[in-house]
Structure 1
Amino acid sequence: MDNSRKIAVKVLNEVFDKGEFSNKNLNIRLINSDLDSKDKALVTEIVYGTIKYRYTIDRIIDNFLKEGIKKLDTTILNILRISIYQMKYLDKIPDFAAVNEGVNLAKAMKSVGMSKLVNGVLRNYLRNKEERYCDDRDIVSNLCYDYSFPKWMVKTFITQYGEDTATKILEGLNKRPAVTVRVNSLKADFEEVFDLLEENEYSVSEGYICPEAIRIEKGRSIEKNPLFKDGLITVQDESAMLVAPSMDLEEGMTVLDLCSAPGGKTTHIAELLDNNGKVYAFDLQRSKLPLVEENAERLGATIVQCDKLNAEIFNEKLVDLGDRVLIDVPCSGLGIIRKKPEIKWNKSKNQLDALAQMQRRIMSNACKYVKQGGYLIYSTCTLNKDENEKNINWFLLNHSGFKVESLNFGKAENIIYNKDGSVTILPNDYMDGFFICKIKKL
């Protein structure tokens, strides 16, 4: 029989050492395991929790090793990480059980000698469980330890947003995300779907800000629900749901989505057009286009046409084609850490700088595809202002004949209406961090 904690360690080895995506690696291992649903839930909790709180956990472990964690065997380090996570952040697992499991795991996966090291570190931690392993005099050190983020990221948020908002961002990015679905207006109305979900024994509530959003609070996997299979709903975060409505869509329009996969915003556009118009869905990787096509077919979005496109390279055939052009550009993803916690550890400041340059190349091409009087919509799932407001400022300085038009999504404590008219959405219990800007071609 498979050991749940052993699977967790193997996933973490792949995520931290090889840059694997946690959700994909974990799903494959769980599908191929003989664990029951309770143990699968435990593995999921341990994996995501350990990734989320890695910084703090590593500071603790480092304190009890003479040579620190850098020279420690990867598997032993991850055994220590999951053990500390259980003892520090989980109430349902007794400390002695976490220690015993860790020791036995080290013995089974490595050696008796390594199991003794694990035993020593974990028992030392238990004797000093209330200690704080950070510099209490330094705000960055405190925030890094309390919310478990790398120092460069904390410094970036403080520099760009100030200490108070940065703290809200860190707190929001550590929230546990719920599943939110978008009601497909092509096939059903909100009340009908809401009632059907309850009949299917889901605990549901209305969305936080989007009128077509339903929050799934409790219930089995939504992808296995007949409402999903029949295309009445699709999974999408509420922040992403705000993009298509911001485009001021009208039936009969031609819309270009230059970075469309997996198709959430593309299909939303088709729904708001009521399948009356044209939606061209492009993506750099042809291998991703079948996913867009599958989603469009499931949802009945018949006006979607897919093709490969490198948005960084100018395409003369697209000039003045779009009434609306959407560029949901590749970004650092700092707004979706609550869903993909490994972003904390697989991104660097240098990568962010390179991304901003790529985004500018995409903007420079995309603006040429917009008809006069049409809109270019720029969106990201990051909170890095260099990829957001700074890019918009650069664009306006280097491209005449465009202006930002203000967006308004109503009042919500996590929505920042920027001076230039763009919108920043801070992460909270209900929404990912996001940025949206609507630019008119005069």
Structure 2
Amino acid sequence: MSSVGAVASRYGYRVDFVEYLARFFSLGYIEDLFRSLETPGSRYFFRVNTLKVRPEDLLEELREEGLKVYRHDRLPEAFYVPVEGPFEVRLLPGKVYVDKKTAESVYVGANVFAPGVTKVENAREGDLVSVIAPGGRVVAEGVLSMDPSRVFSERKGLAVRVVRSVYRAVSLRETRYFDEGLIYHQSLPSMVAVRLLDPQPGWTVLDMCAAPGGKTTHAAQLMGDHGEVIAVDRTKSKVDTIMEHARRLGLKSVKGLVYDSRYISEYLDKDSVDAVIIDPPCTALGVRPKLWYERGFDDVLKLSDYQRQFLREAAKVLRRGGRLLFTTCTISPYENEFNVIFAASYLGLKPLPLSFPPVKSGLLGTGSLQFVPHEHDTPGFFIALFEKR
């Protein structure tokens, strides 16, 4: 039987983090989770912008182009393409080292752009190179598309055109479907969460941690672009990105706000919004594929306290009877179920029963949902929905 230390060593996690998880889950469950997180899953999802195109019409058009595209049986706007692999990739003399976020995208076939490059070795423009993740894993082979000096001086543009990756999914980001705002790349659990919130036309919705804009734009779409969705982030570049997505999707109800939403009640009136979305910074244990992880139990404690700052402010600006959607991309009870208890005990927020078979409830029962990678073939994702009493 595996020990906590053996599991931590085998999968590259900190012992204190595995010890924390083992308080709530068996080691067998944890190992199944860690194994699944190393892969991207078998489906890559994107959302159809139903304000611009009917899902059935887009599905027919994509299939006529020879693409293997499928529609989720319960969410009409949720489409997916199969993920193929794993494939072998070589360690070549020329190497391009990239950051964690870039590596995890390249692992499933994305190209490398200059901002994600950390180092280039033994390569010039036009050379075939290996793309290396933090920790040394080779995630792809590709062609270096610009001279290394330009990569670091300009910090923009295509750096490596990937020709072979460990996994591969058809990307529609460089097609007219993306450019014309017919689709938005979004995970299935994220779409389910906004569906469960059920935002209505005419509502004022506050998205407190809105970047990169998936839930913001999905809410506006479900509202028929009638009402207002306030997308908040304290970084201007992130708000600019959200607003660019909104423009591409043809959404006029999205309003960007550069602000630290931990103090949003100083900007918005109390009891002034119909719904709040909180998807706060978290330990991101559910993000897949996961090639490198360095979080520890100290991060869990810091982040769970950080998340409660958003919950406190949300309770102030939410009207009585309004709804609060709380989500994370982690499988961490202190950040998930314990925050549900906090919100219910101290903030006057009543957890609402949720159901989305076959996804099971979180540890608390009917007041939450927990997507689990090795059970649902999705990212790990937690959903709770509250009503203000």
Q: Deviations over 1:270-290 (max 9, x none)?
A: 000011111111112112111
Match of residue 439 from structure 1: 386
Over 6 Å off, 4+ runs: none
Q: 1:296 to 1:371 in 2, by over 3 A?
A: same
Partner of 1:176: 40
1:197 to 52, 62, 72: 62
State the identity %.
Answer: 31
Report the CA distance shift for 1:420/1:203 in structure 2 as closer, same or farther (over 3 A). closer
Report the CA distance between 1:166 and its aligned residue.
2.4
Q: Higher RCO, 1 or 2 (CA under 8 Å, sep at least 6)?
A: 2
Decide which structure has greater helix share: 1
Measure the CA separation in 2 of the matches of 1:380 and 1:175: 20
- Equivalents in 1 of 2:54, 2:377: separation in Å? 22
User: C-alpha separation between the residues in 2 aligned to 1:247 and 1:156?
Assistant: 31
Tell me the equivalent position of 1:395. 343
Pairs within 5 Å for 1:94-105: none
Distance, in Å, in 1 between the alignment partners of 2:388 and 2:331 is 26
CA distance in 2, matches of 1:233, 1:417: 34
Structure 2 residue aligned with 1:267: 217
RMSD between aligned residues: 2.1
Is residue 224 from structure 1 mapped to residue 171 from structure 2 by the alignment?
no
Higher Cα Rg: structure 1 or 2? 1
Indicate the residue corresponding to 1:408 in structure 2: 355
Tell me, in whole angstroms, the C-alpha distance in 1 between the residues paired with 2:34 and 2:73. Answer: 20
The reply to whether residue 325 of structure 1 matches residue 273 of structure 2 is: no
> What pairs up with 1:267-306 in 2 under 5 angstroms?
267-306=217-256
In structure 2, the CA distance between the partners of 1:246 and 1:387, relative to structure 1 (3 Å rule), is same
Equivalent residue of 2:24, what SS?
helix
- Answering whether residue 18 of structure 2 is matched by residue 154 of structure 1, we say yes
Q: Which residue in 1 is equivalent to 2:203? A: 253
Question: What CA distance in whole angstroms lies between the structure 2 residues aligned with 1:417 and 1:238?
Answer: 21
Unaligned runs of 5+ in 1: 1-136
Inter-partner Cα distance in structure 2 for 1:397 and 1:308 = 31
Aligned partner of 2:306 in structure 1 is 358
Residues 181/231 of structure 1: CA separation in 2 closer, same or farther (3 Å cut): same
Higher normalized strand content (fraction of residues): 2
Q: 1:417: how far off?
A: 7.2
**Aligned counterparts of 1:416 and 1:365: Cα–Cα separation in 2:** 24
Task: State the AA in 2 paired with 1:438.
Answer: L
The aligned amino acid for 1:174 is E
Q: Deviations over 1:221-260 (max 9, x none)?
A: 3111211111111111111111211112211111111110
Task: Tell whether the 8 Å contact from 1:181 to 1:235 is kept in structure 2 after alignment.
Answer: yes
Specify which of 135, 140, 143 is matched with residue 7 of structure 2: 143
Specify the alignment match of 1:212 in structure 2: 77
The separation in 2 between residues aligned to 1:189 and 1:206, in whole angstroms, is 12
Separation of aligned partners in 2, 1:430 and 1:187: 29
Q: 1:420 to 1:407 in 2, by over 3 A?
A: closer
Q: Specify which of 367, 371, 375 is matched with residue 319 of structure 2.
A: 371
Distance (Å, rounded) in 1 between the aligned partners of 2:354 and 2:361: 11
Task: Look up the equivalent residue of 1:433 and give its one-letter code.
Answer: G
Q: Confirm or deny that 1:426 pairs with 2:372.
A: yes
Q: Aligned partners of 1:416 and 1:403: how far apart in 2?
A: 16
> Shift of residue 425 of structure 1?
1.1
Q: For 1:280 and 1:306, locate their aligned partners in 2 and report how far apart those are by CA, in whole Å.
A: 6
Q: Are the aligned partners of 1:194 and 1:204 in contact in 2 as well (CA < 8 Å)? A: yes
CA contact (8 A) 2:277 2:324 kept: yes
User: C-alpha separation between the residues in 2 aligned to 1:254 and 1:406?
Assistant: 23
Aligned mates of 2:5, 2:54 — CA distance in 1: 49
CA distance in 2, matches of 1:210, 1:159: 35
Equivalent positions of 1:53-64 (< 5 A) are none
Deviation at 1:438, TM superposition (A): 0.7
Cα distance in structure 1, aligned partners of 2:74 and 2:14: 31
- Provide structure 2 residue ranges, at least 5 long, that are not aligned to the other structure: 84-168
Aligned length: 301
Q: Distance in 1 between matches of 2:5 and 2:200?
A: 50
TM-score (norm 1): 0.64
Distance 1:359 1:273 in 2: 27
Q: Distance in 1 between matches of 2:364 and 2:181?
A: 36
Pair 1:334-2:198 in alignment: no
- 1:316 matched to 2:180: no
Which residue is equivalent to 1:165?
Answer: 29
